[in-house]
C-alpha cells in the first residue's frame, strides 16, 4: 500500500491542479501583472512633450519654431483653455509671447520641469542663440536598468509570499472549517506527514512558478538574468519555506475563513507596500529603513534582485537568507506549538 | 477479551463566560466486544462529547476511559487509532478528490486494512468510484464517510449520527452497512436521536440525558421496563362537544393498565393486554357520560421509553432547536 506521506502529497497536488482559482493566482496573475506594469512603465525612447502656445500675435511664429522637432506636440489654444488643459495634465507647459517669453508650468511635476528646460532650449536656439561648447551624445539603454528589470524579481518575491501564505494558510483553515483536520487527526496519520505534504506541495510548484515568470520576462521584455539559475532556485526555495511557515502560523488557530482572509491581508499588505515589490523601499524616510529591512519579503526581494540583476552569487546572500530562515523557523515552531487540529 | 469500551464516572465540563456547562456528568458505560451499541438521546444530551472523548479527540475533565483495553495516555494513542474507525457528525471531504482517491488516502494511514476497492463496494459506491466528492448526494457522502471509517478494518467502529439529515432510502442503505458489521462481529458504537434507528440496529442502547445514562438495556428490555407493550391514546369530549378534563390517574385502576399520562389535550395509557384494557376503558367512559373523540393503539417504542423517563418528547426538543436556530 502506498505510503501515507506520498498519498498526502498526491492529494495536495491533485487538489491544487483541480482548482482553477489557485492556478490563476499562482501562474497567470503574476504574468498579467508583469505585462500590465511592463507596458505602463516602459521606458519610452522619445517622450512627447505637450506644449500649448497661448493664442496671440506671435503664436504662429512661436509654434513654427518647434515644427521640425518631433519631441514637441504643439497646439495653439486660447489662454483660458490652455490654463484648463495644464490643470488637467493634458499639456505640460504653456508658452506666451508678451514683452518677454513667459513659461507657465507646475514645477512639482517632473514632466513640466523637463518641458521647461527642453522648450526653452529649443526656442532660444531657434531665435538665434549659439552654443558655446561642442557636445556629443552617447545613448545607453541597457536591459538590466529598466523598470521591468526591477519589477520582475519583486513580483517573484511577492508571488512566493502569496503562495506560502494563501496556499498553506487558506488550505489549513478550509480543512479545519470542514472538520477534515479533525477527521484526519482521528486516524493514525502522523501529523508531521501532514505538515511535510502541505509544504512539499507548495515546493513542487516552485519550479513552474519561477519558469513561467522569468520566462515571460525573458520572452516579452528581454529580461537578462545575470546570476545563476541555481542561486535563484535556492533563494526562492528558502523564501517559499519561510512564507509557508508564516502561513502555518497565521492559520494555526483560525476557525473561520473570514479570520484567515483578514490575518493574511494584514501580513501581506504591509510587505506589498514596504518591501520593494513595485518601487524601491529607499524612497521611504530613512528612519523606516531598519524596520523595512527586517521584513522577510524585503530580504527575499533584495536577494533575488542581487542575483537576477547584479549577478551576485549565493555566498553574498548569506545574511538575507539567514534572516529569512529565522522568520520561517520561528513561525514554524510557534505554529506547531499553538496548532489547533479540531 | 474485555469490554471494547469502558467509561467510569466520565465528566466533561466546558467553562465559558456564561458559566460552566457539564456536557458529560458522571457517565458510566460498558460496551461488549461484538455488539452494536446505541447512544440515544436528544440533541445536546452529551452523546457527541462522549463519543469524541472515546475517539481521543477531546480530553475528559475527569473519569476513566478504556478503549479496546487501552487508555488515551499519549503512549498508546497510535495503537488505539490503528484499531478504531470513525465517522464524525459532519465532515466535508475534499470536493476535488474522487471517492477512490479519498478512500485510498485514508487507507494509507493504517498498518493494515481493507482494499479501497472492497470498501467502496461494501458501501455501494462502485459507480461513483471516479466521481468527485463534491458531486455526491448527501446519502452518498455519508456512505463515503463510513467507507473511510471501515478502510482500516477497525475492531471498533464509531458512527456519530450517521443518518441525520438523510432521506429514508439513504438511511436504509447506511443501516445495511452497519448490520453487515455486526455479522462480522465487530463492535459498533452508534449515536442517534432516531429511536426507530436504535430499535432496528442495536443490541443494547443507553439513553442519555443531561450527560448521564438514564436507562440501559436491549430495546426490548427498555420497553418492558415501562410495564407494558402497548400504548393506548385517546381524547375525550362531553356529549355537548366540550372537551372533558379528567385527571390522568383516574384511569390507573383499570385492568392491565400499568401507567397513565396526560398528553396534550388527550391521554396516553401503557397497557399489557389491550383486549382486556379497552373494554374496561370504554365502560368507564360511558359511566362518566363522556364520548371518545379519538382512539389509537400501538406498540411501545423507545420514544415512549424516553418520554416515560424524562417527561419530554424527543420530537419536542428538535422543534425547540429549530425554533432557536
Looking at the complex, report in whole angstroms how far the Cα of residue A27 sits from the nearest Cα belonging to chain B.
Answer: 20
Of A309-318, B251-260, B290-299, B311-320, the poorest mean pLDDT is in B311-320
Give CA separation, A271 vs A260, A265, B51, in Å: 17, 10, 45
Contacts of B161 in chain A (CB under 8 A): none
Smallest CA-to-CA distance from B190 within B88, B73, B306, B64 is with B88
B241: left (phi over 0), alpha (psi -120 to 50) or beta: left
Smallest CA-to-CA distance from B103 within A24, A11, A303 is with A11
Contact A309, A276 (CB under 8 A): no
pLDDT in tens, A265-297: 999 999 999 999 998 999 899 999 999 999 999
Contacts of B110 in chain A (CB under 8 A): 187-188
CA closest to A191 among chain B residues: B109
Residues of A at the B interface, defined by Cβ within 8 angstroms: 1-4, 6-8, 10-11, 14-15, 18-19, 178-180, 182-183, 185-189, 342
* Pairing relationship of beta strands A101-104 and A93-97 according to DSSP bridges: antiparallel
Intervals of chain A under pLDDT 70: 1-2, 43-46, 141-144
Q: Which residues contact A240 (CB under 8 A, 6 or more apart)?
A: A160, A163, A164, A202, A203, A206
Give the model's pLDDT for residue A43. 63
Contact A83, A104 (CB under 8 A): yes
CA closest to A180 among chain B residues: B91
Contacts of A342 in chain B (CB under 8 A): 57-58
Query: What is the number of other CB atoms lying within 10 angstroms of the CB of residue B28?
Result: 15
| Cα R_g (chain A), whole angstroms | 27
- Tell me how far apart the alpha carbons of residues B270 and A120 are, in angstroms, rounded to a whole number: 111
3-class DSSP assignment, residue B36: strand
**Looking at the complex, does the CB of residue B157 fall below 8 Å from at least one CB of chain A?**
no
Look at B81 and A18 and tell me if their CB atoms are within 8 Å: no
Smallest CA-to-CA distance from A324 within A208, A178, A200, A161 is with A161
pLDDT in tens, B137-196: 988 999 999 999 999 999 999 999 998 888 888 888 889 888 888 888 889 999 988 888
Give the model's pLDDT for residue A1. 43
> What cell does A143 get?
536591459
- Angle between helix B99-107 and helix A4-17 axes, rounded to 10 deg: 150
A contact test, residue of B84, B94, B133, B148 with most A CBs within 10 A: B94
Contacts of A19 in chain B (CB under 8 A): 96
**Looking at the complex, does the CB of residue B93 fall below 8 Å from at least one CB of chain A?**
yes
> What cell does A15 get?
487538489
- Tell me how far apart the alpha carbons of residues A50 and B32 are, in angstroms, rounded to a whole number: 92
Looking at the complex, report in whole angstroms how far the Cα of residue A298 sits from the nearest Cα belonging to chain B.
Answer: 35
- Tell me how far apart the alpha carbons of residues A85 and A91 are, in angstroms, rounded to a whole number: 6
H/E stretch holding A138: none
In chain A, DSSP assigns E strands to 49-54, 72-77, 93-97, 101-104
- Tell me how far apart the alpha carbons of residues A5 and A190 are, in angstroms, rounded to a whole number: 9
Looking at the complex, report in whole angstroms how far the Cα of residue A209 sits from the nearest Cα belonging to chain B.
Answer: 22
* pLDDT above 60 for B316: no
CA closest to B91 among chain A residues: A179
Look at B108 and A15 and tell me if their CB atoms are within 8 Å: no
Give the model's pLDDT for residue B322. 44
Look at A11 and B101 and tell me if their CB atoms are within 8 Å: yes
Give the model's pLDDT for residue B98. 96
Contact A328, A245 (CB under 8 A): yes
Contact B11, B59 (CB under 8 A): no
Contact A63, A56 (CB under 8 A): no
Looking at the complex, report in whole angstroms how far the Cα of residue B66 sits from the nearest Cα belonging to chain A.
Answer: 16
Look at B96 and A14 and tell me if their CB atoms are within 8 Å: yes
**Looking at the complex, does the CB of residue B237 fall below 8 Å from at least one CB of chain A?**
no
Look at B111 and A188 and tell me if their CB atoms are within 8 Å: yes
- Tell me how far apart the alpha carbons of residues B296 and B234 are, in angstroms, rounded to a whole number: 6
pLDDT in tens, B38-85: 999 888 889 999 999 999 999 999 999 999 999 999 899 999 999 999
Smallest CA-to-CA distance from A214 within A283, A79, A308, A318 is with A308
Look at B88 and A182 and tell me if their CB atoms are within 8 Å: yes
Look at A182 and B110 and tell me if their CB atoms are within 8 Å: no
Look at A1 and B107 and tell me if their CB atoms are within 8 Å: yes
Looking at the complex, report in whole angstroms how far the Cα of residue B87 sits from the nearest Cα belonging to chain A.
Answer: 8
Look at B90 and A11 and tell me if their CB atoms are within 8 Å: no
Query: What is the number of other CB atoms lying within 10 angstroms of the CB of residue A196?
Result: 14
CB proximity under 8 Å: B 101-140 to A? 101, 104-111, 113
- Tell me how far apart the alpha carbons of residues A319 and B291 are, in angstroms, rounded to a whole number: 96
> What are the phi and psi torsion angles at B190 (to 5°)?
-125, 135
Look at A188 and B81 and tell me if their CB atoms are within 8 Å: yes
> What are the phi and psi torsion angles at A207 (to 5°)?
-65, -50
Give the model's pLDDT for residue B324. 44
Give the model's pLDDT for residue A2. 56
Give the model's pLDDT for residue B49. 94
CA angle at A129 for the pair A125 and A133, rounded to the nearest 5°: 95
* pLDDT above 90 for B307: no
CA angle at B106 for the pair B105 and B110, rounded to the nearest 5°: 115
Contacts of B113 in chain A (CB under 8 A): 1
Give the model's pLDDT for residue A58. 81
Give the model's pLDDT for residue A34. 87
pLDDT in tens, B79-135: 999 999 999 988 899 999 999 999 999 999 999 999 999 999 999 999 999 999 999
Amino acid at each position: 500500500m502506498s505510503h501515507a506521506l506520498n498519498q498526502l502529497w498526491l492529494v495536495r497536488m491533485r487538489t491544487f491542479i483541480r482548482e482553477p482559482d489557485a492556478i490563476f493566482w499562482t501562474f497567470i496573475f503574476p504574468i498579467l501583472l508583469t505585462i500590465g506594469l511592463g507596458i505602463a512603465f516602459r521606458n519610452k525612447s522619445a517622450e512627447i512633450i505637450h506644449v500649448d502656445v497661448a493664442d496671440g500675435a506671435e503664436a504662429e511664429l512661436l509654434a513654427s519654431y518647434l515644427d521640425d522637432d518631433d519631441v514637441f506636440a504643439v497646439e495653439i489654444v486660447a489662454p483660458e483653455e490652455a490654463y484648463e488643459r495644464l490643470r488637467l495634465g493634458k499639456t505640460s507647459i504653456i508658452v506666451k509671447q508678451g514683452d518677454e517669453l513667459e513659461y507657465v508650468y507646475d514645477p512639482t511635476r517632473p514632466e513640466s520641469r523637463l518641458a521647461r528646460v527642453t522648450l526653452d532650449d529649443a526656442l532660444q536656439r531657434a531665435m538665434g542663440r549659439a552654443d558655446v561648447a561642442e557636445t556629443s551624445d552617447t545613448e545607453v539603454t541597457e536591459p538590466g536598468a529598466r523598470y521591468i528589470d526591477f519589477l520582475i524579481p519583486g513580483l517573484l518575491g511577492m508571488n512566493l509570499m502569496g503562495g506560502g501564505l494563501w496556499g498553506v494558510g487558506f488550505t489549513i483553515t478550509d480543512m479545519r472549517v470542514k472538520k477534515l483536520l479533525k477527521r484526519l487527526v482521528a486516524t493514525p496519520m502522523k501529523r508531521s506527514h501532514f505538515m511535510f505534504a502541505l509544504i512539499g506541495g507548495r515546493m513542487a510548484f516552485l519550479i513552474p512558478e519561477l519558469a513561467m515568470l522569468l520566462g515571460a520576462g525573458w520572452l516579452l521584455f528581454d529580461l537578462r538574468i545575470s546570476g545563476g539559475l541555481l542561486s535563484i532556485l535556492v533563494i526562492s526555495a528558502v523564501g517559499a519555506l519561510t512564507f509557508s511557515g508564516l502561513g502555518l502560523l497565521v492559520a494555526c488557530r483560525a476557525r473561520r475563513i473570514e479570520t484567515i482572509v483578514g490575518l493574511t491581508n494584514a501580513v501581506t499588505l504591509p510587505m506589498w507596500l514596504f518591501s520593494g515589490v513595485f518601487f524601491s523601499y529607499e524612497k521611504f524616510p530613512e528612519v523606516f529603513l531598519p524596520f523595512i529591512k527586517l521584513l522577510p519579503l524585503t530580504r527575499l526581494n533584495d536577494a533575488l534582485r542581487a542575483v537576477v540583476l547584479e549577478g551576485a552569487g549565493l555566498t553574498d546572500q548569506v545574511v538575507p537568507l539567514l534572516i529569512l530562515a529565522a522568520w520561517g523557523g520561528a513561525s514554524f515552531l510557534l505554529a506547531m506549538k499553538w496548532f489547533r487540529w479540531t | 477479551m474485555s469490554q471494547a469500551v469502558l467509561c467510569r464516572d466520565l465528566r466533561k465540563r466546558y467553562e465559558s463566560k456564561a458559566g460552566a456547562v457539564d456536557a458529560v456528568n458522571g457517565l458510566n458505560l460498558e460496551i461488549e466486544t461484538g455488539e452494536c451499541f446505541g447512544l440515544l438521546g436528544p440533541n445536546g444530551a452529551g452523546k457527541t462529547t462522549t463519543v469524541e472523548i472515546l475517539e481521543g479527540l477531546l480530553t475528559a475533565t475527569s473519569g476513566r476511559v478504556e478503549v479496546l483495553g487501552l487508555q488515551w495516555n499519549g503512549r498508546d494513542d497510535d495503537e488505539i487509532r490503528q484499531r478504531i474507525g470513525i465517522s464524525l457528525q459532519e465532515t466535508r471531504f475534499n470536493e476535488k478528490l474522487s471517492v477512490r482517491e479519498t478512500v485510498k488516502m485514508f487507507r494509507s494511514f493504517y498498518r493494515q486494512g481493507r482494499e479501497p476497492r472492497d470498501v467502496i463496494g461494501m458501501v455501494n459506491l462502485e459507480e461513483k468510484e471516479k466521481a468527485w466528492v463534491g458531486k455526491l448526494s448527501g446519502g452518498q457522502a455519508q456512505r463515503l464517510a463510513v467507507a473511510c471509517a471501515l478502510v482500516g478494518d477497525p475492531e471498533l467502529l464509531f458512527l456519530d449520527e450517521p443518518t441525520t439529515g438523510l432521506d429514508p432510502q439513504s438511511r436504509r442503505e447506511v443501516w445495511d452497512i452497519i448490520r453487515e458489521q455486526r455479522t462480522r462481529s465487530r463492535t459498533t458504537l452508534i449515536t442517534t436521536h432516531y429511536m426507530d434507528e436504535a430499535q432496528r440496529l442495536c443490541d443494547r442502547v443507553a439513553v442519555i440525558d443531561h450527560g448521564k445514562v438514564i436507562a440501559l438495556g436491549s430495546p426490548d428490555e427498555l420497553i418492558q421496563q415501562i410495564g407494558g407493550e402497548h400504548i393506548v391514546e385517546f381524547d375525550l369530549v362531553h356529549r355537548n362537544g366540550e372537551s372533558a378534563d379528567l385527571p390522568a390517574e383516574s384511569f390507573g385502576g383499570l385492568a392491565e393498565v400499568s401507567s397513565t399520562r396526560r398528553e396534550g389535550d388527550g391521554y396516553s395509557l401503557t397497557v399489557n393486554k389491550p383486549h382486556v384494557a379497552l373494554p374496561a376503558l370504554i365502560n368507564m367512559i360511558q359511566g362518566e357520560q363522556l364520548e371518545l373523540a379519538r382512539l389509537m393503539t400501538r406498540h411501545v417504542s423507545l420514544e415512549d421509553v424516553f418520554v416515560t423517563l424524562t417527561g419530554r418528547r424527543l420530537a419536542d426538543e428538535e422543534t425547540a432547536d429549530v425554533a432557536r436556530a
